[in-house]
A and B are shown apart, each in its own frame.
Chain A
Amino acid sequence: MMEEIFTTTGVMTMMELRYNPITDEWIIISSETQKRPVLPKKEACPLCPGVLEMKHDYDLTAFDNRYPSLKLDPPEVQRDDFYENAPSYGKCEVIMFTSDHNSSLSRMPFGQIEKLIYVWEDRTRDLMKHEKIKYIFPFENRGKEVGASQIHPHGQLYAFPFIPKRIQAKIDAISKYRSKGRCAICDIINHEKGESIVYDGENFIALVPYFARFPYEVHIYPRRHISFFTEMTSREKFDLAIALKIVTSKYDSLFDQEFPYMMEIFQGPVNPQMSDFHFHIEFNPPKRDKVNIKWMASVETGTWAFINPLTPSEAAKSLRNASYSI
């Protein structure tokens, strides 16, 4: 998902959802004509307190993206005789992790990450009140390699009016696995004992999955079969903060650099709530080694089939051995 904060846009005004009958998926068309905001000075960070987005000091914030792809009051769409389209209903929020410009999940105190989890929970609770919202997806793009234009630690959140294609794939897989009478993630947690584990906490486990698509992909699973932030206990939120801190800190240690990644948080669908969905977080880092990038090229983009150049157990071993801070 591309980074959309403060990007200059084209000249057309178009904001609607379009259905692809070939792949059975919804596409978000979004082009805005607003001009890039004028910043007080060239080097100023628009996300720092008092510069542009936040008028005063803050601890954490969640605010509507200045250039959203989805809005609660989207423009009317012009119906097409042939294609199916719909208004771009939904919400695109920016979530500031901290007012400290030079921090990151890997560097901030775990107490700050814990607060961030409370914010994610609050945003989930707030947004699921809108009946037309079907899926709430918090994420972070870190590093220019994945399109992040601002280094100030922040993430985003998309509240979709439909179930995105990959989420639907996950839901279908859950149903398929349910024929065994069990949950796939619960079974993985029970099965994984050593070589894939990166962090083994009381309430959360972090591992490089057997089926990793990216070289240093890491998944974080709650041991308890829960679907939403809103179901987590205080202790689970704390433990998730620790897991996030350790994983991101290990990432930075791995090649002694600020490790780029896409962090995707998967909760269950809402309206109606799907309680059989096992909450999880995926880290999809683009790096294949210290220098090179694993590109989403033709095979990956065209077929959704991934070629991972690194054995997952090797990646897990490197990450397990990487030092970290808590």
Chain B
Amino acid sequence: MRINGQPLKTGVNREVIGNFELNFSISKFRGYLIEIEMRNLLDTPKFAGEIKIGEMDSNGEIFMNNFQSWGPCTFVNPYEVSKLLKFSTFQLNFGISPVLWEFRDGIVSDYFVATDREFAGFLSSNLSHPYFKWHDGKIDVKVYIGKILLPHESVKIEKLWVYEFNAIEDALQNYALEVLKEKTLRSHAPLFGWESWYSYYLDISQETFLKELENANLKYEVFQLDDGYEADIGDWLRTNSKFPDGLEFLARKIKEKSMKAGIWTAPFSVSESSELFRSHPDYLVKDDKGNPVVAYENWNKKIYAIDLSNDEAIEWLKNLFSTLKGYGYEFFKIDFLFAGMVPGKRKSNLSPVESYTRGMKAIAEAVGEGHILGCGAPLLPSIGYVDSMRIGADTAPEWGEMDIGTPSAKYSIRNALTRNFMNKWWVNDPDCVMARSQRTKLSKNERMINLFVPALLNGHFLESDFLGELTDEDIHLLIDALNFRNGHATVRFIDGQRYVITTKNSRNGDVVSFVNLSDSVWEDNLSNYINEKKEDEFFISYPLMKSAGGDLKIDPRSVEIVLHRGKRYLKRDDEKEDDGRDIHYYWGDDYDGVKI
């Protein structure tokens, strides 16, 4: 890392870039912490766009991260990705990046990046969007602000943390902790639930939803209606003709079965055909010509972005979520959130990131104790505003080979593994699990990955199946996976396709799991991954429940689960009842209260 052309060293540093002055304060703390203040040198207001604040060298593979939920977080060869993007017909949009122009001559890693030995990560995204642009073997360290600075106004830019690492996993864990120092979190426990998307997609109706509700016989904590109920994108409180009795009725039906009622929305998105678009064009982010900015296209429509710097739009947003809460909803999956952060003209002089967090704060205030699951969301600015966060691409009932944020069982799970460290910021949502053996193109082994990896990582466990169609075997597989939840997991990266999960204290005890996402056999030895020796130690391969040997051969696209067991000690407390009877309380070391 170089600042102002110089290698990092503690002290202060000054650099003038155009009409702005950058003042750096560099201190040593488990690496280097760089604090940056930026000042408009002019006597006139000046728009601050992208600012380069340093650079790194990288000729080899890098570990990169996309800014939002669905985007990849993985090892890449930047030359190959760059070439691929240059020659592909893939359409870039603001769902890929808020700094799209940077892809003309490079590729972007948002929030953090790692070379073969150096990790650099921004600790917040409060004002600007921080990112790393790779081009021609160099990495530019940049932020995009996107607002006007008043004459001589100074602003603090996000802190940057630079760390030399031995293992990338350690760097990510430490990074997560550094980020936490800047934030106050909302906190909720991981949930077991059902949602409608991967069974019905947009074909969901009141009738089918109620049928699924009737078939919900497991102890789901939340039952969530996904996309497909609304009159249009933006018109959330008006249901379409498939939902004749409205949203309040459905919330009541869900609560009658003692589950939290969940509802999906895309609250920062407005479709070109919506009533909201017609009645409130003033709510939208505009381009330089005053036309609404197309944030993305979906549902065969142009989708515009809500201007969250607009007080009236914020009031509309608060009213939307207060109403849903009033209907009885307690679980809010809010999707396509990146729309709130698109660059453009806004009513007030707030940066895209400031506008976004203003919108998120409004939702958080409106739902109070309700649970917010972010999705399609810029990650760093969402910390503290969501209870849980999708951390990968949509999954799918097929494996999928495209690592571009589009639906894929493979890459959804890959991100759940590489972004597991984010569980310090929120409850990770690896996206839905599907236990079904019918209406899926996943093989048994691929289904095992889809079911067991989310359980072993202990984020949300949201099922999306046709509940009435599950076979006994499907249900047993689901229950089996549930019994691997409640643990604390760390993930070791072997490479971009192979991972080892160490789960401590799952319901089934300590587990070491080998996840092979590649198409080739993985041969390894268990002893390479056992750090802790147990009394009377033994290893059991699951699900055959036979002794596991040291040498392992993990089939392509499969997960090998090894239980790490030993002698157990139960704590015993003896009490005497008033009538003289003895009562002995026994406690396992894994007990953490009454659980499903």
Contacts and interface: CB of A to CB of B under 8 A. Distances in A.
Partners in one complex: yes
B316 interface: no
Contact of B596 (A100, A112, A115): A100
Contact of A118 (B543, B568, B575, B584): B568
Contacts of A233: 536
12 contacts: A59-B586, A60-B588, A64-B577, A100-B595, A100-B596, A110-B508, A115-B586, A119-B586, A234-B535, A239-B545, A325-B475, A325-B479
Interface in B442-479: 471-473, 475-477, 479
A58 B586 CA distance: 7
Contacts of B577: 63-64
Given A238-B540, A326-B543, A57 B572 contact: no
Contact of B581 (A64, A115, A326): A64
Given A235-B538, A242-B545, A324-B476, A63 B590 contact: no
A109 B563 CA distance: 13
Contacts of B587: 58-60
Interface in A76-120: 99-100, 102, 107, 109-112, 114-115, 118-119
Nearest to A58: B585
B546 interface: yes
Nearest to A201: B545
A54 B507 contact: no
Nearest to B586: A60
B583 interface: yes
Given A59-B588, A107-B479, A324-B476, A115 B547 contact: no
B448 to A, nearest CB: 13
Contacts of B475: 325
A202 B585 contact: no
Interface in B12-70: none
B591 A234 contact: no
A48 to B, nearest CB: 9
B594 interface: yes
A315 B213 CA distance: 35
A236 to B, nearest CB: 10
A59 B591 contact: yes
B441 interface: no
Interface residues of A, number: 43
A115 B588 contact: yes
A202 B540 CA distance: 11
Interface string B174-206: 000000000000000000000000000000000
Interface of A: 49, 53-55, 57-64, 66, 99-100, 102, 107, 109-112, 114-115, 118-119, 122-123, 201-202, 233-235, 237-239, 242, 249, 253, 256, 323-326
Contacts of A235: 536, 538, 565
A234 B547 contact: no
A175 B585 CA distance: 39
A238 B565 contact: yes
A115 B588 CA distance: 7
A147 to B, nearest CB: 22
A146 B429 CA distance: 44
Q: Which of B476, B542, B575, B584 has the most CB of A within 10 A?
A: B584
Nearest to A242: B545
Contacts of B530: none
Nearest to A64: B581
A64 B582 contact: yes
Contacts, number: 113
B566 interface: yes
A256 B586 CA distance: 32
A238 B586 contact: no
A234 B565 contact: yes
Nearest to B547: A202
B480 interface: yes
Contacts of B595: 100
Given A110-B483, A238-B538, A57 B472 contact: no
Given A115-B568, A115-B570, A249-B476, A102 B219 contact: yes
A156 to B, nearest CB: 14
B476 A234 contact: no
A61 B588 contact: no
B472 A253 contact: yes
Nearest to A115: B588
Q: Which of A111, A115, A256 has the most CB of B within 10 A?
A: A111
Contacts of A118: 568, 570, 586
B289 interface: no
Contacts of B593: 57
A123 B476 CA distance: 32
Given A63-B583, A63-B584, A109-B483, A234 B594 contact: no
A225 to B, nearest CB: 20
B549 to A, nearest CB: 13
Nearest to A123: B584
Contact of A61 (B472, B542, B585): B585
B533 interface: no
Nearest to B545: A242
A110 B572 CA distance: 20
Contact of B584 (A61, A237, A325): A61
A168 to B, nearest CB: 29
A31 B435 CA distance: 51
Contacts of B546: 202
Nearest to B595: A100
Contact of A49 (B472, B594, B596): B594
Contact of B594 (A62, A99, A119, A201): A99
A117 B543 CA distance: 21
B472 A122 contact: no
B567 interface: yes
